[in-house]
């Protein structure tokens, strides 16, 4: 397979102030402070499609929080490989899972220089958390990075998390990439994926296409809204946990829905699968 980048994010932004970074743009969407003008410009450009565009980031993050609670609480997982951790926010993976599984280990991977500079100290909070810089779209690089196999025991179940990352991968071999990760995991492991969705419905497909057009032509340069079928393929032959791949907001919501989903909330999906 060619080593040519299949996503702008595989070449870290570094000191290039003309490029927005995914981590900083996401931080801007979540109302954080670790972002620059170029990142807020992406938010402004995408917000022209729909005013509630920040729902995309909140639906994604809230799904991650509920997924972590399920993995630690119900599935009893004590090892986490969180690919594309993002900048630290209110509730990070290790805080959620260590509340339920105090001995849980969390290995964060990201390649963004700001995440490295500001996030590392906050995410590496105790000796059960580790932060490593690697390209999450190169499973070999992640799995063989120094320290990974020492920190996590690959003979025991691990939750592999690719939350809000794969829509930034522009290649069409994302299923192969997840398969390579899954092959390295022990039976009883889980895979979590959330992804921008083209719902292919008359009411929302147009929104998804417009969002994709804005994201991919913004200074960030990526953000694909793939169909349910394309995202489902990423789970390969792993067994989907109920209710399967659904809208992030419909994956075991915290309570009954009393207001309809926004058009933006209809455009992001998530799911969890188990390796048997």
- Note the residues at the interface with ligand SAM (CB under 6 A): 7, 9-10, 22-23, 26, 60-61, 64, 84-86, 110-112, 115, 135-137, 163-165, 168
CB of 250 to ligand SAM, least distance (A): 17
Residue with tokens 């399967």: 244
Q: Which is nearer to ligand SAM, 197 or 259 (CB)?
A: 197
Exposed (0-12), middle (13-18) or buried (19+): which is 88, by Cβ within 10 Å? buried
- Cβ neighbours of 5 (radius 10 Å): 15
10 Å CB burial of residue 237 (0-12, 13-18, 19+) is: exposed
Alpha carbon distance 17, 170 (integer Å): 22
> Minimum distance from CB of 257 to ligand SAM (Å)?
22
The full length of the chain comes to: 276
Q: Give Cα 61 to chain centroid, integer Å.
A: 8
Supply the minimum distance, in Å, between the C-beta of residue 143 and ligand SAM. Answer: 14
Please identify, using beta-carbon distances, which residue of 70 and 137 lies nearer to ligand SAM. Answer: 137
Q: How far is the CB of 181 from ligand SAM (least distance, A)?
A: 13
Smallest separation (angstroms) from ligand SAM to the CB of 276: 25
Q: Which is nearer to ligand SAM, 90 or 203 (CB)?
A: 90
Which residue number, 5 or 259, has a Cβ lying nearer to ligand SAM? Answer: 5
Q: Which residue is nearest to ligand SAM (CB)?
A: 84
When the beta carbons of 157 and 164 are compared against ligand SAM, the nearer one is 164
Kindly tell me which of 112 and 198 has the beta carbon lying closer to ligand SAM: 112
Reference 174, options 194, 153, 157; nearest CA is 194
Sign of CA dihedral 192, 121, 5, 29: positive
Q: CB of 183: closest distance to ligand SAM in angstroms?
A: 20
Three-state secondary structure call for residue 59 = helix
Give yes or no for a contact between 47 and 106, defined as CB atoms under 8 angstroms apart: no
Element (H, E) at 39: helix 37-47
């Amino acid at each position: 397979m060619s080593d040519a980048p299949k996503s702008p994010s595989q070449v870290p932004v570094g000191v290039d102030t003309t490029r927005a970074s995914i981590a900083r743009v996401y931080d801007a969407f979540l109302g954080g402070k670790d972002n620059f003008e170029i990142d807020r410009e992406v938010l402004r450009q995408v917000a022209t499609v729909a005013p509630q565009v920040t729902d995309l980031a909140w639906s994604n993050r809230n799904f991650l929080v509920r997924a972590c609670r399920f993995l630690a609480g119900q599935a009893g997982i004590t090892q986490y490989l969180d690919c594309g951790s993002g900048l630290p926010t209110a509730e990070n993976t290790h805080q959620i899972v260590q509340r339920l599984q105090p001995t849980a280990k969390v290995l964060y991977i990201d390649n963004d220089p700001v995440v490295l500079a500001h996030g590392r100290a906050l995410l590496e909070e105790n000796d059960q958390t580790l932060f490593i810089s690697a390209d999450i779209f190169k499973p070999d690089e992640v799995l063989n990075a120094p320290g990974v196999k020492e920190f996590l025991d690959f003979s025991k179940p691990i939750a592999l998390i690719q939350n809000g990352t794969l829509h930034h991968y522009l290649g069409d071999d994302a299923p192969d990439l997840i398969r390579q990760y899954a092959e390295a995991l022990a039976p009883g492991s889980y895979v979590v994926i959330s992804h921008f969705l083209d719902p292919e419905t008359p009411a929302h497909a147009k929104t998804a296409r417009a969002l994709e057009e804005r994201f991919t032509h913004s200074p960030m340069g990526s953000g694909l809204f793939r169909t349910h079928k394309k995202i489902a393929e990423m789970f390969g032959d792993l067994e989907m946990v109920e209710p399967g791949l659904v809208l992030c907001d419909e994956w075991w919501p915290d309570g009954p829905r009393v207001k309809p989903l926004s058009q933006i909330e209809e455009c992001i999906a998530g799911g969890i699968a188990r390796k048997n």
